[in-house]
Amino acid sequence: MATGSGQFPTMHPVSGFKLGTTSAGIKTPGRNDLVLMEIAPGSTVAGLFTQNAFCAAPVTICKQHLASASPRFFVTNTGNANAGTGEQGIADALQTCETLALAAGVDSNQVMPFSTGVIGEPLPMDRLLGGLPKALANLSEQAWSEAADGILTTDTRPKGASLKYPAGDAQVTITGISKGSGMIKPNMATMLGYVATDAAVDSELLHRALRLANNKSFNRITVDSDTSTNDCIMLVATGASGVVIDESNFEQFVEQLTQVCLELAQAIIRDGEGAGKFVSVIIESAVDSAEALAVAYTIAESPLVKTALAASDPNWGRILAAIGRAGVNALDVNLVQLRLNSVLIAENGARAASYSEEAGQQAMQPEDIEIRVALNRGQATETVWTTDLTYEYVSINAEYRT
Amino acid sequence: MATGSGQFPTMHPVSGFKLGTTSAGIKTPGRNDLVLMEIAPGSTVAGLFTQNAFCAAPVTICKQHLASASPRFFVTNTGNANAGTGEQGIADALQTCETLALAAGVDSNQVMPFSTGVIGEPLPMDRLLGGLPKALANLSEQAWSEAADGILTTDTRPKGASLKYPAGDAQVTITGISKGSGMIKPNMATMLGYVATDAAVDSELLHRALRLANNKSFNRITVDSDTSTNDCIMLVATGASGVVIDESNFEQFVEQLTQVCLELAQAIIRDGEGAGKFVSVIIESAVDSAEALAVAYTIAESPLVKTALAASDPNWGRILAAIGRAGVNALDVNLVQLRLNSVLIAENGARAASYSEEAGQQAMQPEDIEIRVALNRGQATETVWTTDLTYEYVSINAEYRT
């Protein structure tokens, strides 16, 4: 199950950024599972990584390589997360970098490795290394769609976003792909996301832009509250457009980048495991952002709220109960207002006088649901996106070995 | 679904504590849904209540009445939680107390009201008040089993625990009942629990004993991480045994009380909504209790761990991922050891050398599963009990209006 049309967008190539995809036989035979990305010399690269203490071996290596060199290649395998693999996992990730570096004529710390799939199994190194030459031969600036497909695991759809915006006399392109469907509550970034732009952005600004965009997109989604061991989001700036980002046009760049990241993050929620609803949880008039997020995530992660959503049941008592346990200091429940798709459901600690069960039922029918809570005690607003909890979620996760 | 034999134990009456149960027609016709408990004059009473800010009207009244008078009656209705009912809910709870007080010849603040069932609907006052005389006429010290049945909602079984222990030349009896199956992560107490003893315990000691017992029982269970609006646990000491509890024998009393509370709390987990497994999550060698509990609850509430449990799948990668996101400061993952029902699964950040998939599969087959994690960084141990996440859980909660 999934929500929305799932149409894959037109992907504008980013000059200086190439992608090559192949099948190395790690996943189901015939399915693409190995993706290379080549970054032109002189580009800048920013990355954000999972905060899970049991982070995967490739995450550890990615951080070391990003700190010590200018990345020239990303290599991603699916079907195996290379997580929970101890010292062997580290050795395998390093060998992958070394083998690719040798074939491509770069230093091995200019290669960043990424893995996604089953946790706790050793990487099938023979197959992985054997696939590298084919992927290298496939590299092309046009190949975003194949790469978006090649990085998927339990996802049912490829996820992409792309835009161009005018900057002075020139144009800036931002294009990205992501994957993720379960074990989704990114804590820095989603399972895997790659975004490239042809703007010229120095390293410090690029990191700042990625953190800002990430905090309004990937860091605002949850399918099942489970932060993955492999989350990474990478941003590459090739500079090929000639547009230099500085403090004067930084805000515009972040706005456009956030748009791309938001589309990629929301695509993950639309394709969340077993998803029958796309749910925006909007908390308004909180004291601060942390308070708004605490309430939003308590609602978004409540199994009782999520099963009610699956049944299209306007079960507002469960939403009030979630708000009430979110740890808000001295919450005056009489000030709280709750709306479902703009129907006022509850206020003054009880059902709204204007509410009818029919109106509530009707508000819950659409695939896209907005849960809007006004705390009426401050100025902060935050939005979090999530899915419902369906039989299909249980079925997928009782049968799939993460 | 439920786990364990579910056999209802022999219930030792507590002299000075009577129970009366009837059907007031609030729930399904013919099902008992109104329970009175009468407390002999001179008894002491302690109570712990939900910390949900959207607490139910009866919880608000209970706290006021317990603070202002010596309780003589508990009145409990099921089928309607009287929560999310605003000012009308408060008025209804007060009227219930007044009507019973008049009929029984006590002050209205000596009556404590309890409700459990659907949130957000007004109490059916005519039926509730109409049932009081019948329940009063039924009062008996023998009627624990009927009361255990009368307080249930989505529970599939009554829950009771009872023991006698020698104290000097006399005996102390402790007997209790509880209810709860979904919306279970008590934050002070479970949905509803009532425990009585014939020991004589002054009010301050009684509260202390209840807090201590509660923190090792009701405050250590979670079905779905959703703290209810109506949680209450009450402890009555009638003194009829003649045994006076003081600092000299307090520890023994708390130990026995904890035993009764633990049986009642675990009975709730065994009857958790859709439960196919009874899961003990034991975190050892943590720096402190808070750290152990953070790891325990992150595992116990992870949808991915819970669906793996439902499938009897030894999916240890998901457990490591949960440990890794539990927010433990500077966790050294190489020190962590994970056991499933005493089979060593993972250590040194990877699968244990001695582990075989067959041993893992076998460890996951029993209905009772122990997930034991050694952090190897301190002295604290905590245990939390939970269930798996099954189709039945989704089914129950997509169809039942809490």
- In this prediction, residue A129 carries a pLDDT of 97
B106 exposed, middle or buried (CB, 10 Å; 0-12, 13-18, 19+)? buried
Which residue in the set B54, B86, B304 is minimally distant from A397, CB to CB? B304
Q: Are A51 and B326 in contact (CB under 8 A)?
A: no
**SS percent in chain A: helix, strand, coil, step 5:** 35, 25, 40
Strand partners, A235: A46, A195
Q: pLDDT-based confidence at A105, cuts 50/70/90?
A: very high
Q: What is the pLDDT of residue A400?
A: 61
Beta strands in B327-367 (DSSP E): 337-340, 343-347, 350-351
Q: Do A321 and B55 touch (CB under 8 A)?
A: no
Is B397's CB within 8 Å of A88's CB?
no
Q: How far apart are CA A47 and CA A66, in angstroms?
A: 8
Helices (H) and strands (E) in chain B, counts: 11, 18
Nearest partner of B338 among B389, B384, B374, judged by Cα: B374
A317 vs B120, B346, B391: nearest CB? B120
Identify the residue with better confidence: A218 or A311: A311
- Calpha distance B10→A400 (Å, rounded): 44
pLDDT of residue A189: 45
Longest dimension (CA), chain A: 72
What value does the mean pLDDT of chain B take? 90
**What is the distance in angstroms between the Cα of A72 and the nearest Cα belonging to chain B?**
30
Average pLDDT over residues B316-342: 91
- How would residue B368 be classed by pLDDT, with cut points 50, 70 and 90? very high
Q: Which residues of B touch A228 (CB under 8 A)?
A: 321
For chain A, how many residues are written?
Answer: 402
Q: Which residue of A has its CA nearest to B311?
A: A398
Residue B369 contacts residue B340 (beta carbons within 8 Å): yes
Q: DSSP labels for A315-327?
A: -HHHHHHHHHTS-
The distance of Cα B101 from the centroid of its chain, to the nearest Å, equals 28
- Rounded to the nearest angstrom, the minimum Cα separation between B326 and chain A is 8
CB contact under 8 A, A394 and B310: yes
Write the pLDDT tens digit of every residue in A156-209.
889 999 999 998 889 999 999 988 877 766 654 456 888 989 999 999 999 899
Residues of chain A neighbouring B182 (CB-CB closer than 8 A): 304
Q: What is the pLDDT of residues A66-77, one digit of tens each?
A: 999 999 999 999
Identify the CATH number of the domain defined by range A278-399.
3.10.20.340
Number of H helices, E strands in chain A: 11, 18
Packing angle of the helix pair B86-104, B57-68 (nearest 10 deg): 50
Q: Provide mean pLDDT across the span B157-161.
A: 91
Instruction: Give pLDDT tens digits for B89-134.
Output: 999 999 999 999 999 999 999 999 999 988 888 999 999 999 999 9
Inter-chain residue contact B324 with A398, CB threshold 8 Å? no
**Cβ pair A321, B226 in contact under 8 A:** yes
Return the pLDDT at B186.
65
* Chain A environment of B399 (Cβ under 8 Å): 311
Chain segment A245-264, per-residue pLDDT in tens: 999 999 999 999 999 988 88
d(CA A315, CA A103): 59
Q: Which of A80, A230, A304 to mutate to test the interface with B (most CBs of B within 10 A)?
A: A304
Residue ranges with strand state E in A181-259: 192-197, 200-201, 221-222, 232-237, 244-245
CATH superfamily membership of A17-270: L-amino peptidase D-ALA esterase/amidase (3.60.70.12)
Chain A positions touching B324 (Cβ under 8 A) are 52-55, 227, 229
Q: Do A321 and B348 touch (CB under 8 A)?
A: no
Over the Cα atoms of chain B, what is R_g? 22
Quick one: which H or E segment has residue A291?
helix A289-300
pLDDT tens-digit series, residues A295-344? 999 999 998 899 999 999 888 888 998 998 898 999 998 999 999 998 99
A190 carries an active-site annotation = yes
Q: Residue B188 pLDDT more than 70?
A: no
Q: Does B3 score more than 90 pLDDT?
A: no
> What is the residue extent of each domain of chain A?
17-270, 278-399
Residue of B nearest to A117 (CA): B317
Question: What number is the average pLDDT over the span A46-50?
Answer: 87
Token code pair at residue A233: 């989001």
CB A183 to CB B321 under 8 A? yes
Tell me if domain B17-270 and domain B278-399 are identical in fold: no
pTM: 0.81
Chain A: residue nearest B273 by CA? Answer: A304
Q: How confident is the model at residue B190 (pLDDT cuts 50, 70, 90)?
A: low
Residue A399's pLDDT is: 73
* pLDDT > 80? residue B399: no
Going by pLDDT thresholds of 50, 70 and 90, the confidence category of residue B193 is confident
A with B: how many residue pairs have Cβ under 8 Å apart? 217
ipTM for this prediction: 0.77
The closest CB to that of B307, out of A229, A328, A397, belongs to: A397
Nearest chain B Cα distance for residue A88, angstroms = 9
Comparing alpha-carbon positions, the chain A residue that sits nearest to B396 is A307
Dist CA B279 CA B340 (whole Å): 10
Nearest to A50 by CA among A289, A268, A219, A264: A219
**What average pLDDT does this structure show over A72-83?**
93
pLDDT for A188 equals 42
Mean pLDDT of B376-395: 92
pLDDT in tens, A123-157: 999 999 999 999 999 999 999 999 999 998 878 88
Cβ separation B333–A53 shorter than 8 A: yes
Q: What confidence tens digit (pLDDT) does each residue in B8-38 have?
A: 999 999 999 999 999 999 987 789 999 999 9
Q: Are A326 and A375 in contact (CB under 8 A)?
A: no
Active-site residue, selected from the candidate residues A190, A197, A222, A298: A190
Q: Among residues of chain A, what percentage have pLDDT more than 70?
A: 97
Catalytic residues of B: 190
| Alpha-carbon gap, residue B328 to B336, rounded angstroms | 12
Those residues with Cβ within 8 angstroms of residue B358's Cβ, 6 or more apart along the chain or in another chain: none
- Quick check: A225 pLDDT over 90? no
Nearest by CB to B398, from A53, A86, A310: name it.
A310
Give how far A241 is from chain B: nearest CA, Å: 40
Q: Round to whole Å and give the CA distance between B107 and B101.
A: 6
Q: What's phi and psi for B303, nearest 5 deg?
A: -60, -35
pLDDT (0 to 100) of residue B144: 95
Q: B79: which strand partners?
A: B117
Per-residue confidence at B400, pLDDT binned at 50, 70, 90?
low
Residue B228 has pLDDT above 80, yes or no: no
Among A1, A335, A377, A397, the residue to mutate for chain B (most B Cβ within 10 A): A397
Structure tokens at A292: 């708004």
